[in-house]
């Protein structure tokens, strides 16, 4: 298939749903499958896939949204940097609306702080080159997907002997939280839809422990509706046949061994932290990157002596349970009332990959609606 419309063909999607229904009917069990990536959660709701899946399939959103899992203390510590004389803070757009103790970065910008949205760390590097009398900090977040670009910006900064550029590093590693989730006693999972974007960098090998040690299947998936339906079908088929393997549905973008050049850039610049805090999941060993000593001059944490302070959280917010897949977003008492995309309480409502944002945007009341038996998947407008 070559065109995006082919991956959104409702006839093929319905046929795949029929096959999943054939596989699951009569089994008398529920298949609890976690879609790790927030982009998958959005696709499932945006394209209405939940409505064509049989009732035996329960999709559980995972922790694969980097903005959502960043704890408030790190957000506040990063935004503290902009209070230093002459600092320009740069960040991705979805960070601009994440609330911290000073309000959101957009609020701070409105009050005069020099905070700028960028599309990549290379943009931040360019700002540093154009403003030699200022110090530019890039608020780096993301899994192995975005970390190579940050690494490349530091490699370039070092080559250019830039002295006014640094990174506030919050890059995280995808495999350790999956192990942490599998070790949670309250959470029963049967299989995983593996994240597509991060796997373009790391490949499929890092998920092998899930099948080898925990006996669960993993299917690395693309983001179009047919990708997801096929991946769910592959995962269910493994479970029905008693197999547990790592399979790659997203072969058009993901190589089994990943992207060797991107991995080399990560290796050059980053080292694993002993542990890193995840919102809702606590401290997880070896789950974050730090900047290697060879690049210490570009490490904002060292340059500015970053201090993290404890943060008061709205006691009714269920962000932690939602992130662990123990609750659905609409189980949170603040969902859609106190916490909305216009006025978010938690980061899960802010980020374009957040589960609460996806439920609010595409499926706010689906849990209350009876789906008619003659429901047909709507043709999605190709954009």
The residues that touch ligand SF4, with contacts defined as CB under 6 A, are 317-319, 322, 329, 332, 334-335, 339, 345-346, 348-349, 356
Minimal distance, residue 353 CB to ligand SF4, in Å: 12
Q: Which is nearer to ligand SF4, 172 or 339 (CB)?
A: 339
Q: Which is nearer to ligand SF4, 47 or 335 (CB)?
A: 335
Q: Which is nearer to ligand SF4, 147 or 349 (CB)?
A: 349
Minimal distance, residue 113 CB to ligand SF4, in Å: 24
Residues 6+ apart with CB under 8 A from 295: 154, 158, 269
Give the gyration radius of the chain's Cα atoms.
Answer: 21
Q: Label residue 287 exposed, middle or buried (CB < 10 Å: 0-12, 13-18, 19+).
A: buried
Cite the beta strand spans of 56-214 per DSSP E. 57-64, 87-91, 115-117, 135-142, 165-171, 191-194
Residues 6+ apart with CB under 8 A from 293: none
Q: Which is nearer to ligand SF4, 40 or 273 (CB)?
A: 40
Distances (CA, A) of 200 to 67, 270, 377: 20, 18, 29
Minimal distance, residue 311 CB to ligand SF4, in Å: 14
Q: Which is nearer to ligand SF4, 34 or 202 (CB)?
A: 34
Q: Which is nearer to ligand SF4, 17 or 334 (CB)?
A: 334
3-class DSSP state of 131: coil
Q: Which is nearer to ligand SF4, 267 or 316 (CB)?
A: 316
Minimal distance, residue 107 CB to ligand SF4, in Å: 18
Distances (CA, A) of 141 to 26, 37, 55: 44, 15, 36
Minimal distance, residue 237 CB to ligand SF4, in Å: 33
| Contact (Cβ atoms closer than 8 angstroms) between residue 33 and residue 192 | yes
Minimal distance, residue 326 CB to ligand SF4, in Å: 11
Residue 340's H or E segment, with its range, is: none
Tally of helices (H runs) and strands (E runs) in the chain? 16, 13
How many Å apart are CA 330 and CA 318, to the nearest integer? 10
Minimal distance, residue 332 CB to ligand SF4, in Å: 3
| Contact (Cβ atoms closer than 8 angstroms) between residue 60 and residue 325 | yes
Q: Are strands 218-220 and 246-248 parallel, antiparallel or unpaired?
A: parallel
Kindly state the DSSP code that residue 172 receives in the 8-state scheme: B
Would you mind telling me the total number of residues written for the chain in this entry? 383
Minimal distance, residue 373 CB to ligand SF4, in Å: 31
Q: Which is nearer to ligand SF4, 8 or 328 (CB)?
A: 328
């Amino acid at each position: 298939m070559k065109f995006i419309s082919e991956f959104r063909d409702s006839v093929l999607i319905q046929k795949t749903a029929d096959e999943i229904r054939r596989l699951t009917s009569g089994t008398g069990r529920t298949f609890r499958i976690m879609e790790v990536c927030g982009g998958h959660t959005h696709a499932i709701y945006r394209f209405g896939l939940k409505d064509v899946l049989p009732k035996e399939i329960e999709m559980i959103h995972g922790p694969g949204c980097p903005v959502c899992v960043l704890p408030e203390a790190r957000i506040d510590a990063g935004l503290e940097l902009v209070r230093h004389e002459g600092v320009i803070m740069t960040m991705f757009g979805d960070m601009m609306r994440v609330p911290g103790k000073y309000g959101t970065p957009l609020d701070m910008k409105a009050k005069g702080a020099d905070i700028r949205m960028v599309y990549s760390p290379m943009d931040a590097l360019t700002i540093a080159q154009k403003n030699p009398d200022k110090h530019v900090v890039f608020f780096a977040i993301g899994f192995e997907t975005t970390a190579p670009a940050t690494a490349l910006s530091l490699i370039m900064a070092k080559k250019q002997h830039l002295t006014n550029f640094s990174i506030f590093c919050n890059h995280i590693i995808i495999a350790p939280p999956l192990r942490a989730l599998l070790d949670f006693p309250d959470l029963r999972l049967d299989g995983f839809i593996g994240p597509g974007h991060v796997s373009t960098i790391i490949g499929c090998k890092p998920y092998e422990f899930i099948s080898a040690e925990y006996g669960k299947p993993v299917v690395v998936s693309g983001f179009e509706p047919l990708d997801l339906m096929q991946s769910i079908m592959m995962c269910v088929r493994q479970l029905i046949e008693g197999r547990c393997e790592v399979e790659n549905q997203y072969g058009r973008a993901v190589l089994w061994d990943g992207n060797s050049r991107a991995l080399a850039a990560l290796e050059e610049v980053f080292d694993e932290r002993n542990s890193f805090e995840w919102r809702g999941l606590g401290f997880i060993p070896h789950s974050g990157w730090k900047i290697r000593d060879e690049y210490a001059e570009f490490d904002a944490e060292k340059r500015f002596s970053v201090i993290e302070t404890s943060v008061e959280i709205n006691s009714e917010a269920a962000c932690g349970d939602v992130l662990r897949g123990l609750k659905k977003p609409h189980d949170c008492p603040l969902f859609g009332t106190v916490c909305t995309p216009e006025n978010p309480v938690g980061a899960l409502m802010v980020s374009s990959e957040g589960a609460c944002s996806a439920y609010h945007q595409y499926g706010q009341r689906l849990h209350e609606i009876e789906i008619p038996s003659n429901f047909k998947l709507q043709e999605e407008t190709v954009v």
